[in-house]
Amino acid sequence: MPLDFDLWSLLQQHRQSRRQKEKYSLELSEEELQQGQERFACFLGSLEMGRVWVEGPVAVVSLRKISGEPLPDPWLSASEALRRDVLEVQEAKRASVPVLEMENRDPEHYVLVPSGQVFPGGMQTRGVAEEVALAPRQKAEVPVYCVERRRWGGSRKFSPDKKTYRSPARVHRAIAHKLSQGALWETVHLMHAMLQTHSPSESLADLYEEVNPKIEQHRLWRAISRQLEPDACGVLLFYAQELKLAEAFAEPSLAREQLLEQLRCFLIDVMLEQHARTSPPPSLEEAEVQQQARRVLQHLQAGPWTPYRRLGAGQLWTLQTPQCGGQALCCKQQVIHFLAVPSLTA
């Protein structure tokens, strides 16, 4: 591999980001901006706490949607679309680190590709930087990060047989706050070092494959995986009095599998916290977690959410406050998905 591969990748990311911003920038009128804020306030106001599970420093709060219109169209998650072989993921015609081409070949379903979704294979493993909605038979260029630092070579197409992954909160945090490609590589490198996993190419997918058997046997996974109620559409995840991640989907049918995979990643976050701390973290009380969960939902509801760009069939909005940052996807005047993480200084 050339010694200047990292620099070449960073230059590609900068140029592609500039082109994407110019091509897909989202400019709205004052009325549309106000309607957008009201849409987020209504969606977040429709969420209520369900089951609250606490053990030691770990807490999982299930979220249910108590009001709102059902989605007018059928939707698939990216992982389900891949299993059905209706989502095609491949390198751009001129392969470039920060972009992939994705095509929804389904004639009826929309496909949600959330931020932080990890696609192994291709020229190198990538994580989605900006979530996108793909209408039936729609193709789009999707901004991505590289999460496999030391490989560039292979197939142009990503195999539908390969498993995709969600991202741990540390990776979501880097994505939400638009850290550089170099910073994300260092995040993945540090995760490998802390968990003592091995990957010659420093691939995030290799870390999952090595850690997943440990997660399956972890006593917390056996407890956490049973906490999602059938009608759950979101979760709030806490560790030692700190919010790690907040996420919700428009409908439980779209949420179930994605939330279970995010809970798996949360166990990776817990392992990383245990390695990083030199003293035992404080235990949580259920009443304390409930109060903190209410504050988080109120903060997210207040926003402000900012229109960022148009990708595929949806509009991407972002949230940046002193407390947290995140992304949300809207399509046909409805919130499809949002994900938020603490700010870098929180």
pLDDT at 7: 53
pLDDT at 161: 78
Task: Provide the residue ranges of all domains of the chain, joining segments of one domain with +.
Answer: 35-342
State the greatest distance between any 2 C-alpha atoms of the chain, in Å, as a whole number.
55
What are the pLDDT digits (tens) for 32-74? 888 888 999 999 999 999 999 999 999 999 999 998 889 999 9
pLDDT at 162: 79
CA distance 9 to 2: 11
- Strand-pair category, 75-77 with 87-96: unpaired
Is the omega angle on the peptide bond into residue 136 within 30 degrees of 0, that is, cis?
no
Residue 37 burial by Cβ neighbours in a 10 Å radius (0-12, 13-18, 19+): middle
Q: Are 56 and 284 in contact (CB under 8 A)?
A: yes
Helix, strand, or coil here: 30?
helix
What are the mean pLDDT values of the chain's consecutive 10-residue runs (346 residues total)?
Answer: 49 52 65 87 95 96 92 95 96 93 98 97 96 97 96 90 91 94 96 96 96 92 89 96 96 95 96 91 95 96 91 94 94 95 84
From residue 41, alpha-carbon distances to 19, 59, 108, 322 in Å are 32, 25, 29, 19
Q: What angle (nearest 5°) sits at the alpha carbon of residue 31, between those of residues 29 and 35?
A: 115
CA distance 329 to 178: 17
From residue 312, alpha-carbon distances to 11, 24, 55, 216, 252 in Å are 25, 10, 41, 36, 23
What are the pLDDT digits (tens) for 214-236? 999 988 998 998 888 999 999 99
Reported pTM: 0.91
Q: Are 336 and 133 in contact (CB under 8 A)?
A: yes
CA distance 64 to 269: 24
CA distance 103 to 180: 27
CA distance 203 to 189: 9
